[in-house]
Amino acid sequence: MKLLNPGPVCLSPRVREAMLGPDLCHRSDAFAALQTRIRVGLLDVHGLDPSVWTAVLLTGSGTTAVEAMLASLLPADTRLLVVENGVYGERMTAMARGHRVPVTTLTLPWGAIVEPAKLAAALDAAGDVTDVALVHHETTTGRLNDLEALATLCDQRGLRLHVDAVSSFGAEAIPPGPPALTSVAGTANKCLHGVPGVAFVITRRAHLATCPARARSVVLDLVTAGREQDRGGTAFTQSPPCLYALDAALGEHRDAGGWAARHDRYDRLGAIVRRGLAPLGLHPWLTDGIRSCVLTAYHLPPGLEIEPFQRALAARGYLIYPGQAALRERLFRVATMGALSETDLERFTAAVADVTHARTNRRTNRRTNRRQTG
Ligand SMILES: Cc1ncc(COP(=O)(O)O)c(C=O)c1O
């Protein structure tokens, strides 16, 4: 099956084979070496200086990392503003509320562009905001939020910025410059091409040092986890096979030319899909502003129902995702992460043509039969 959903992704042979590495106790020297190599490798992906930044590993999925970031890195006097323009922004608000962080939102329609002027107006209206949280790539629609411009605004106002980069880390630019940028949450199994089970938060060492341990959670406590990992240990049991896979995936990412090369590759693969689907009348949902290179959402034309469409494509070996919640019947999403080739995507567009033609033929036959029997 070719996975064209936004993670988990198809694995390369190098990553798959790495999972079969030797049995390993998470309290051994060999584990400590593996963990350190991965933490350094994660910073390297976006050229982050290890004397300024630290990567803390967590066992879990992307949501684990995002929630750990919000539970651990917001000091007690935080007033948080969450930018919402999709499912994952809204989820951050729910997490902040769950941890009793005072939170206001800038709530925009799903897929909307987050203009800095809108954020500025929301900050003015809220008054006492100290921290902003936003999603870099809103996987709900494929919208890429303008991290650089929004971070600059946070800089101008002396705010800290926390970013859900779960579906962008490793393939979209993450500017290390803005002082406001305080923490970034990511996962192994999207643009990095590892397997699900390991997530991470990258944060400024100086900020982490000011945060209290176990402030809102034990299992999501990045302060203790970071301290233990700096000593070569780990607060809780980790998953060596997932870490073997991430280690290999980071090596592959580096050998292939780093995040910019991966960005270009996704762009090329996405263009093959767009070119192949346009003659079928299937067009991208977002036409303005910036879209991610990772995923494109397409209009689902009237009469094409998502479930039979998905099932027909799955029967031909391709997994796609529908839109989320209210967008379920209105769009479908195609991601180009993972070990996929140009040929895979050319064949995918041929499969879509096959499915849509079969449907048109069925409708024409039904109409002809009705006319003949009528
Ligand atoms: C932007 C973003 N944040 C968070 C998540 C949640 O990640 P997970 O499903 O791995 O917990 C996703 C998943 O697609 C995502 O795209």
| Residue-wise pLDDT tens digits, 233-252 | 999 999 999 999 999 999 99
* pLDDT < 70: residue spans in the chain: 360-374
Pocket test for ligand 1, best of 85, 91, 139, 201 (most atoms within 8 A of CB): 139
Q: Which domains does the chain have, with CATH numbers?
A: 13-255 (3.40.640.10), 258-373 (3.90.1150.10)
> What's the pLDDT tens digit per position in 179-199?
999 999 999 999 999 999 999
Nearest atom within ligand 1 for CA of residue 63: 11
Q: What's the CA-to-centroid distance between 200 and ligand 1, angstroms? A: 12
Ligand 1 site, residue 221, Cβ cutoff 6 A: no
- Give me the numbers of helices (H) and strands (E) for the chain, helices first please: 12, 14
Ligand 1 site, residue 164, Cβ cutoff 6 A: yes
CB burial of 48-66 (b: ≥16 within 10 Å; e: otherwise) equals beeeebbbbbbbbbbbbbb
Structure-token pair, residue 216: 């809102």
> What's the pLDDT tens digit per position in 273-332?
999 999 999 999 998 889 999 999 999 988 889 999 999 999 999 999 999 999 998 999
Residue 367 CA to residue 369 CA, distance in Å, equals 5
Residue 244 in contact with residue 127, Cβ under 8 Å? no
DSSP-assigned beta bridge partners for residue 107: 84
Ligand 1 site, residue 66, Cβ cutoff 6 A: yes
> What's residue 372's pLDDT?
63
Q: What's the CA-to-centroid distance between 63 and ligand 1, angstroms? A: 6
Residue nearest to atom 7 of ligand 1 (CA): 62
| CA-to-CA separations, 343 to 86, 113, 131, in angstroms, rounded | 32, 33, 45
Residue 172 CA to residue 263 CA, distance in Å, equals 6
Longest dimension (CA), the chain: 81
pTM greater than 0.75 (yes/no) = yes
Ligand 1 site, residue 6, Cβ cutoff 6 A: yes
Pocket test for ligand 1, best of 59, 63, 134 (most atoms within 8 A of CB): 63
